[in-house]
Amino acid sequence: MYDPALLLIIAVVILALCFDFINGFHDTANSIATSISTKALPPRVAIILASFMNLMGALAFTGVAKTIGGKIANPLNLDNGMYIVAAALIAAITWNLITWYYGIPSSSSHALIGSLTGAVIASAGIGEVNFKGFITILQALIISPLLAFAAGFTIMTLVKIIFRNGHPAKLNRRFRTLQIFTAAGQTFSHGTNDAQKSMGIITFALIAGGFQTNLDVPFWVKLSCAVAMALGTSAGGWKIIKTVGTRIIKLEPANGFSADIGSVMVIILATLLKMPVSTTHVISSSIMGVGTSKRVSAVKWDTAQKIVTAWLITLPVTFVIAAVIYWIIAIFI
């Protein structure tokens, strides 16, 4: 006799790991685009570094996973919790693939949160959404890019002041060397926040399916999500790398260093506060802040506008996609 619940949780775990893998190559650009565009690291070396550091970061924390697993809705109150998770993951994967195909650095975090919320409402109604928790997450997603913009602007301004009399060629060499370390920090911070989202969604499904009763993330979930993201990162995300690395501002080593430091600070802070943020939003905003500190016209605002538009539509679009997918699942299963 086969156990339908066991088969369903296996399917959900596979979907979550697929999401994590896609998140890895979708968001690779976030962590290594600056170092590649300034030639601080060759692309192959950058991706190997990103894969390893993402793995280490993913294994280091679980606070964000608990936020995803429990703050949007209570999985114990949902009759069809695993179907909800399946619909949310299919919707988020679909949106990530669409935006990757067109080279748009959209937010995997927004996609997952919008999808989970839409699937919960389609299944159990709006009353089952924990709006206090949802708004807290939304606030973090909104505030973090603003902080990153300010951090990138401030750090680049300080760099310009401190090194205003430096020799350009020597400074470029030194900042390229420093970017090796900032790229490592960037990819580590990415792992600390982004991989936990899949850990949280699997934990949500395990509770909804009756396989566990608390939000503690099992070690096998941590390890499998960390490995899936590392493997996804190793696949690269060249279209998005091109957008982030070249189409927001013309990056020089000092710019890349400043953008990396600004975004790492914001992402690590969010991880310590157990809040999911969009690494895409944070890193792109930090680059915009760096560009603005040089001069406002240094930022290619048409590209920035397209990125911001993608940010704004991700939540509602994934909300609708997930709701429709849940209704289709409910009809046929």
Please enumerate in sequence order all residues whose Cβ is within 8 A of that of 92, keeping only pairs 6 or more positions apart, or say none. 19, 108, 111, 112, 114, 115, 318, 322
pLDDT greater than 50 at residue 245: no
Query: Can you give the pTM of this predicted structure?
Result: 0.88
Distance (Å, whole) CA 61 – CA 56:
10
Confidence of residue 35 (pLDDT cuts 50, 70, 90): confident
Name the domain count of the chain: 1
Distance CA 198, CA 109 (A): 10
129 bridge partner residues: 73
Tens-digit pLDDT profile for residues 299-311: 777 777 777 787 7
Query: Cβ distance 48 to 227 under 8 Å?
Result: no
Between the alpha carbon of residue 49 and those of residues 70, 76, 164, 234, the distances in Å are 32, 39, 31, 9
Average pLDDT, stretch 93-116? 85
Q: Which domain holds residue 184?
A: 4-332
Alpha helices in 71-218 (DSSP H): 81-101, 108-124, 131-162, 168-208
Least confident of 1-10, 24-33, 199-208, 295-304: 24-33
End-to-end CA distance of the chain: 19
Mean pLDDT of the chain: 86
Amino acid at position 131, single letter: F
SS3 of residue 73 by DSSP: strand
- Rounded to the nearest 5°, which phi and psi values hold at 129? -85, 130
Contact 249, 288 (CB under 8 A): yes
